Amino acid sequence: MRKLFTASNILEAQLLDLMLRNSSIRSHVKNDRLQSGVGEIPFVEMWPEVWILEAEHWVKATEILRQFQQTRVTDDWVCPHCSEANPGTFETCWSCAKV
């Protein structure tokens, strides 16, 4: 396992994790349940992290991370698969996880 990214919040980590999985890259979000420890654990140790499970996917994962970080804010959109509304910053539907 190798750490790819430290997110500022759990939603950011989960979105990147979903993008990786949609590209057939096995990944794992660590620290996804530590938010309740605020005040007892140093906050920098509670930030969600996205880890890549297989070394051979590292290059592809870093490219997906680069694209993720360059995502521009766009207009909200409606998923063509399930008709749910999504924020413009979402590349995949929050409801059905399709693009």
pLDDT digits (tens, 9 = 90+) for 80-95: 999 999 988 788 899 9
87 phi/psi in degrees, rounded to 5: -65, 150
Judged by DSSP in three states, 68 sits in helix
At the top level of CATH, the class of 2-73 is: alpha beta
Q: Region 51-73: what's the mean pLDDT? A: 90
Look up residue 63 and give its two tokens. 């490219």
Output the furthest CA–CA distance in the chain (Å, rounded).
44
List, in order, residues 6 or more apart from 53 with CB less than 8 Å away: 1, 26, 27, 28
What single-letter amino acid sits at 23? S
Q: Which residue has the tokens 């749910």?
A: 84
Residue pLDDT, tens place only, 13-55: 999 999 999 999 999 999 876 565 555 666 566 789 999 999 9
